[in-house]
Amino acid sequence: MSSTFDEPIEAARPRAARWTGNAPTLLVLVLLLLPLPAWLFPGSVATAQLERECMFWIMTAALVGWIHFAERRSLRSIGLRRPDRASLVWGVIGTAITIGGLAFIYLAIFPAIGETESNTQLGTFRARPFGLRAAMVLRAALFEEFFYRGFMIERLADITGFWWLAALISLAAFTLGHLAGWGFGHLLVAGFGGSVLTILYLWRRDLSATIVAHFLTDGIGLLL
């Protein structure tokens, strides 16, 4: 079994040195957190959405390039390894837990608090062409897992010296990142889904498993 604590964090380094020495990494984190696709390509028409998706793929490629060429590290440094049977099994388990929790949120919690915005946004998303929705689901599973679960957790753990703090920052960023496109009600949805993915990553240290869980969850909810 893989564990979050298999590899030691550089806790022996002075805290100030960890922050200053990782200033370029912090800059990359800030830049990728900015809603650049929405800023550069605003609007709700299909063309603008396609342009935003292309921008997300560029950001994904830029992140991979940064890891390879600037950091001179492999993608294993963000938890990505060759997927195996365990990756698939844990991805499916993560999917089942997430869908069960989201069903409870949509069927019990939202009606109880009178939340309707999330259902409206969900209907708007499903009205888009299937091909566009499929591309968005695939992109979200790859970019968001590469960035939030892999890169952000691993690098912030190196910088802060605390896995739990890195995970909380990543979860908060992931949750709030869904605010602009989905509204306040969706924060509960994104927060729960992000919590499952974060726990799965910390437990398995296997980004392939979280990619599978993210893709299947979004695919079942947004494509079927």
- Taking 50 as the threshold, does the pLDDT of residue 83 lie above it? yes
- Between CA 167 and CA 90, with CA 158 as vertex, the angle to 5 degrees is 45
Q: Rounded to two decimals, what is the model's pTM? A: 0.90
pLDDT of res. 19: 72
pLDDT of res. 101: 97
Q: State mean pLDDT over 189-207.
A: 97
pLDDT in tens, 141-162: 999 999 999 999 999 999 999 9
Name the CA dihedral angle for 119, 94, 91, 126, rounded to a multiple of 10 degrees.
0
Give percent of the chain above pLDDT 90.
76
Band of pLDDT at residue 178, cut at 50, 70 and 90: confident
Burial 15-37 (b: 16+ CB within 10 A, else e): eeebeeebeebeebbeebeeeeb
Query: For residues 178 and 118, is the Cβ–Cβ distance under 8 A?
Result: no
Burial of 139 (0-12, 13-18, 19+ CB in 10 A): middle
Q: Looking at 18-27, 89-98, 170-179, 196-205, which range is the least confident one?
A: 18-27
pLDDT of res. 6: 43
Task: Report the candidate in 170, 203, 156, 161 with the shortest Cα–Cα distance to residue 9.
Answer: 161
Band of pLDDT at residue 118, cut at 50, 70 and 90: confident
Band of pLDDT at residue 117, cut at 50, 70 and 90: confident
- Taking 60 as the threshold, does the pLDDT of residue 7 lie above it? no
Tokens 């990505």 -> residue: 80
φ, ψ for residue 95, nearest 5 deg: -65, -45
Tokens 């550069």 -> residue: 40
Burial 190-213 (b: 16+ CB within 10 A, else e): bbbbbbbbbebbbebbbbbbbbbb
- Taking 50 as the threshold, does the pLDDT of residue 130 lie above it? yes
